[in-house]
Amino acid sequence: MANIKPLIEKIQALPVERIAEIEDSVEFITSREQARSLSRAASASSAPAFAAIWNNPDDDTYNTV
């Protein structure tokens, strides 16, 4: 993990209103990352099921394009 002390010091030097904005931003980034993580997990868990459907001789024609 990167050295976060300089960042913490910068945040502490801000007015209270700005700290609230930073907190909102961090919550947004955290929420977005959780959504992306869930999406990646769902994609990974469904890949075997899709592979069984997509990998068939009838669709081999599409693989040559």
pLDDT digits (tens, 9 = 90+) for 20-56: 999 999 999 999 999 999 999 998 898 888 877 777 7
Residues in CB range of 9: below 8 A, 6 or more apart: none
pTM: 0.58
Whether residue 11 contacts residue 19, with contact meaning beta carbons closer than 8 Å, is answered with yes
Domain count, the chain: 1
Does a structural domain hold residue 20? yes
Residue 40 belongs to what domain range? Answer: 16-54
Q: Where does the pLDDT of residue 1 fall: very low under 50, low under 70, confident under 90, or very high at 90 and above?
A: low
SS3 track for the chain: CCCCHHHHHHHHCCCHHHHHHHHHHHHHHHHHHHHHHHHHHHHHHHHHHHHHHHCCHHHHHHHCC
